[in-house]
């Protein structure tokens, strides 16, 4: 199953909890199906929006030998370089500059992106022009550590959205060892990554789009007990993807990212619910312990593009939906 790139974009906005920021980036319908072109367009539109608001500046530490005293004199370095005989001193100071970490990461990520072979030439041209706006900004390796060093405030939160896009781009770049060409890995084909994205998208969607239920995940203990200490040590707990709780309802949602919502029937032409998935949600709801007496409900939730299903059951008194 290949999810349309526009859907991927909004899933990411929800998963990153950056929906409002994502709305500032206008993405018209595009006939270019590659994810790398989507992200290039997001960065182009996003940085254009950012530039209208004003690129962020901050105080950056500098040090230089100068005849004009400013900031703090580093006497050790001044003596070491024998600057006094030249009527100079080695001074350390800070000044307001565009050369802050988040601008450096934007510049470095774009520098990587323009090298991607399958990137549309028009986007390469636009991104190359954007790099000119960052002439006074230094390059820094766009590593995960450097991305996580960024500290933003309420006045520059839009940077957080763009840096999420940049980090995702850099993490999915592949360089051919033989030819040195740069390619973008389409993570839509990685079921593990898409499974995590789908789960985070659904959780934050419920958290942002409704107020009746509290949204979290929950650890569930087995209803039973171990017969000896060694057995107790080996009995783990269950962990839900998403739990919705209110005064009168408790719903456990288990997200499943699979190529087919229903499994092909065994010895029959009829499709069937994935047995393992049903076992899992059933185990959650019969062992869950909530403060209310209302029966716990379960939902198996699948991503679909064309085919819509909504199956409803009651299993041992517990409502269960597959949709």
Locus of tokens 């517990």: 318
Instruction: Compute the distance between CA of residue 218 and CA of residue 202 in angstroms, rounded to an integer.
Output: 15
- What does the pLDDT look like over 142-197, one tens digit per residue? 999 999 999 988 888 899 999 999 999 999 888 766 666 788 888 877 888 889 99
pLDDT > 90? residue 226: no
Taken in order 200, 313, 280, 283, is the CA torsion positive or negative?
positive
Nearest to 215 by CA among 185, 186, 183, 249: 249
* Radius of gyration from C-alpha coordinates of the chain: 27
Which residues does 99 contact at the CB level (< 8 Å), separation at least 6? 60, 136, 137, 138
Question: What pLDDT does residue 290 have?
Answer: 82
270 or 243, higher pLDDT:
243
Mean of all residue pLDDT scores within the chain? 86
- What does the pLDDT look like over 73-112, one tens digit per residue? 787 877 887 877 778 777 887 788 888 999 999 999 999 9
- What does the pLDDT look like over 288-316, one tens digit per residue? 888 777 789 999 999 887 778 899 999 99
Question: What pLDDT does residue 269 have?
Answer: 66
pLDDT > 60? residue 10: yes
pLDDT > 90? residue 113: yes
Q: Give the CA distances from residue 298 to residues 127, 282, 314, in Å, rounded to whole numbers and listed in that order.
A: 47, 7, 10
3-state secondary structure 199-265: HHHHHHHHHHHCCCCEEECCEECCCCCCCCHHHHHHCCCEECCEEEECCCCEEEEEECCCCCCCECC
Mean pLDDT in residue range 122-150: 93
Mean pLDDT in residue range 270-297: 87
Taken in order 202, 207, 212, 215, is the CA torsion positive or negative?
positive
Question: What pLDDT does residue 299 have?
Answer: 95
Question: What pLDDT does residue 267 have?
Answer: 59
| Domains in the chain, CATH or no CATH each | 5-57+99-186 (no CATH), 58-97 (no CATH), 192-322 (3.40.1350)
Question: What pLDDT does residue 129 have?
Answer: 94
DSSP 272: B
pTM: 0.79
Instruction: Compute the distance between CA of residue 240 and CA of residue 203 in angstroms, rounded to an integer.
Output: 11
Locus of tokens 């962990």: 239
Burial of 203 (0-12, 13-18, 19+ CB in 10 A): buried
Report the share of the chain in percent with pLDDT over 90. Answer: 41
Burial of 168 (0-12, 13-18, 19+ CB in 10 A): middle
């Amino acid at each position: 199953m290949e999810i349309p790139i526009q859907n991927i974009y909004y899933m990411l906005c929800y998963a990153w909890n950056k929906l409002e920021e994502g709305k500032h980036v206008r993405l018209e319908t595009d006939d270019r199906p590659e994810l790398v072109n989507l992200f290039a367009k997001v960065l182009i539109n996003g940085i254009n929006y950012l530039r209208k608001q004003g690129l962020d500046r901050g105080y950056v530490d500098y040090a230089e030998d100068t005849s004009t005293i400013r900031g703090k004199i580093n006497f050790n370095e001044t003596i070491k370089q024998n600057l006094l005989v030249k009527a100079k001193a080695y001074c350390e100071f800070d000044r307001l500059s565009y050369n802050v970490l988040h601008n450096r990461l934007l510049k470095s990520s774009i520098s990587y992106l323009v090298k991607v072979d399958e990137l549309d030439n028009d986007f390469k041209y636009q991104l190359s022009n954007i790099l000119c706006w960052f002439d006074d900004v230094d390059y820094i390796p766009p590593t995960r550590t450097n991305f996580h060093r960024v500290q933003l405030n309420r006045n520059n939160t839009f940077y957080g959205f763009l840096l999420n896009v940049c980090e995702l781009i850099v993490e999915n770049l592949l360089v051919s060892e033989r030819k040195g060409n740069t390619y973008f890995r389409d993570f839509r084909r990685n079921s593990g990554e898409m499974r995590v994205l789908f789960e985070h998208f659904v959780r934050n969607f419920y958290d942002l789009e409704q107020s009746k239920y509290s949204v979290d995940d929950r650890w569930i203990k087995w209803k039973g007990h171990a017969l000896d200490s060694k057995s107790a040590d080996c009995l783990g707990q269950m962990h839900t993807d998403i739990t919705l709780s209110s005064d009168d309802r408790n719903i456990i949602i288990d997200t499943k990212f699979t190529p087919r919502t229903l499994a092909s029937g065994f010895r029959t032409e009829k499709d069937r619910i994935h047995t393992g998935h049903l076992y899992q949600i059933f185990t959650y709801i019969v062992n869950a312990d909530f403060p209310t007496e209302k029966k716990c409900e379960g939902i198996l939730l699948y991503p679909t593009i064309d085919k819509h299903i909504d199956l409803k059951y009651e299993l041992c008194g517990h409502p269960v939906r597959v949709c």
